[in-house]
A and B are shown apart, each in its own frame.
Chain A
């Protein structure tokens, strides 16, 4: 069984590495920084924009996936890049391109949820990663505990409503700042702050309730 039997031919590129595909260089050497790339792309330079697409596809794809786009993440990200290009004049300075793009990705993902009336749940990987060291006889038990804890955490996240889940995903799983999260979710920074606080409280309550049930049954 394959996790992603679709269109493997499309996945042969090296997104996230702008130098791998003949990236854009400025005169005098060195890769374009975002501000320069945005400025060039705003004047219609498609090479400059392609540089940004290559650099931020991985981040955008991961954001779409974690926000629930599932296997539609490819479509969401492609649409987000096209829309971003069309309104690139609204992106004021280059160093805000990443959060600005992620805001468009988040918005596209929400549109997707509306159109198909569901969002894909977060899915845990099959097992501990190969890179995790197993050093002693106690490690398997510790790994199992950690895996169970992650399962509980994932399940508890799944019970939050979209607003509270999204704010936690943006802040902590995607590691956006409060301001970037505000941009991504289309709300104020104060709202992000209070919503994050509430969401953590709810998550904590759900986790504790789960643990109490376990204790009751033990």
Chain B
């Protein structure tokens, strides 16, 4: 059966997943089953739990940093046109980062006419306040289109994403959590992290490096997306899911 290897890998994967140590529940259970008349109150620590999980996720993805294994495990994961570099963020960021090359404001309609990939607008955010096109080719087709909301605090970068990298993120400190948008895989970087632009020649433009806020990255058959400035993964995926 061709899936035997996959089954073996799945069986093996269990040992590498984070599960908290089991508590001793004997006393708590005994108290509840021997005192049935008492009202049953379950502790609800969901907010705290979410925070703890986030921290766990941050730690979980960071590769070891001391040993030789660490060097080799500094993997670059390419996803939806974005390089997620788990190496340590040793570079210093420019004090005044450059904008994307050749960036200019335009209208949504104009951006749609110019771009070679589909421009998607999340219904949950509505019409963008500003639309920017960046890094045009010889025919004027932009390589990246950015929709900005709430005075630029929410930023949705759109690009083709299928064949080459567009952005590099150093996620050693922030971590990444895999989730989904609809039926598609998505990556959530839950904390501030350096991001820089990778140009057409595959060169990382260090002068564009800046500190990005929490970001959701996902890809559809029509394009790839990077949504920055939403605080929670739930809200970010809700916005992403509303993208038509």
Contacts and interface: CB of A to CB of B under 8 A. Distances in A.
Partners in one complex: yes
Nearest to A204: B6
Nearest to A120: B53
Interface string B53-93: 10111011111100111111101011000000000000000
Interface stretch (A25-33, A50-58, A177-185, A186-194): A50-58
B123 interface: no
A217 B165 contact: yes
Contacts of A82: 29, 32-33, 40
A35 interface: no
B96 interface: no
A211 to B, nearest CB: 11
B14 A127 contact: no
A50 B183 contact: no
B24 interface: yes
5 contacts: A126-B59, A126-B62, A155-B178, A155-B187, A207-B6
B18 A124 contact: yes
B151 interface: no
Nearest to B77: A151
B153 interface: no
B138 interface: no
Interface in B155-174: 162-165
Contact of B23 (A49, A61, A168, A213): A61
Nearest to A77: B25
Given A3-B56, A82-B32, A121-B179, A200 B78 contact: no
Contacts of A143: 69, 72-73
A125 interface: yes
B45 A71 contact: yes
A155 B165 CA distance: 19
B95 interface: no
A77 to B, nearest CB: 6
A1 B56 CA distance: 9
Contact of A158 (B28, B50, B179): B179
Interface in B1-31: 3, 6-7, 9-11, 13-26, 28-30
Contact of B22 (A58, A75, A118, A126): A58
A123 B60 contact: yes
Given A75-B42, A151-B75, A172-B10, A65 B29 contact: no
